[in-house]
Structure 1
Amino acid sequence: MRRAYRAKRKPMSEINVVPYIDVMLVLLVIFMVTAPLLYQGVDVDLPRIEAEPLPPEEDDPVIVTVNRDGELLVSIGTDPDEPVGASEVVDLVSRVMRNSPDTPVLVRGDEQVPYGRVLDTMSMLQQAGVPQVGLMTRPPSDD
């Protein structure tokens, strides 16, 4: 009587996880390398030619001013009186955008204010639903 030789097999419940760990480590390295290359920004349509004054609009523009101290002032057709908080800026501008979506929105930042503060303001305006934000400057001849 001859006995058939049977190979000893591992049960199917044991899965070799080493290849999965290798794949996960490779993906981790890829994400660690590419993450610093990604950046966030605020979309701004800047002209590629010398800027000319904007034509007069029917609606008065909303002007958000960032003063030398980094405080925000909102002007909706009038001169701003008192600084307002970030949540108030988003609230005021979003109400204007709901009522009149074509209202131009401009940011006027003091030249001493850090660039990041102006970008934060533009990001707040984007949250308020503003499709385009203009930056106010003065002509080089004004001193």
Structure 2
Amino acid sequence: MASRKFVKPSTPPNSEINVTPLVDVVLVLLIIFMVVTPLLEKDIEVRIPETEDVPMEQMPQDNSQLIVKLDADGTTSINTDPVSPDDYVAKLKRMLAAKAKEDRIVFFVADDKANYGKLVAAFDGAKQAGAFVLGMATEDIPMAPAAPAEGAAPAEGAAPVEGAAPAPAPTP
């Protein structure tokens, strides 16, 4: 019969938790918080550029801009004139035909609750009508008063169409 021999370890197993790494981590976090806390209490001075309010009466009105507005109920209007979906492309084509190719800019203002499909259809209709640049306005554009008929003298205080301020650059 063979006898079995067991090897006894020289030291008994250690069942205590080693807290040295825990203490190291806590001390590092303490140092980080001690350094960051004074920075949180300081006020950082920020200089903001000053703005001036320009009354709406002083803003130049450009009667030659084409602004297509789409309301929440689906009503489409070109420069405050409501237009039916059937006449939209034809009316826009007539209005764009009088302009040079580079000046065929159409801005779109859509209500937040407007149907997205109708807005895309309005974009497509403007491209079919010959628009060179399509711009999407993020804020409501104040509508200019209706342009005077050809041959009629412009209203007093109205900016002439040719000398009017340039249209705002469309956003990509």
Structure number with bigger Rg: 2
> What TM-score does the superposition give when structure 1 sets the normalisation length?
0.49
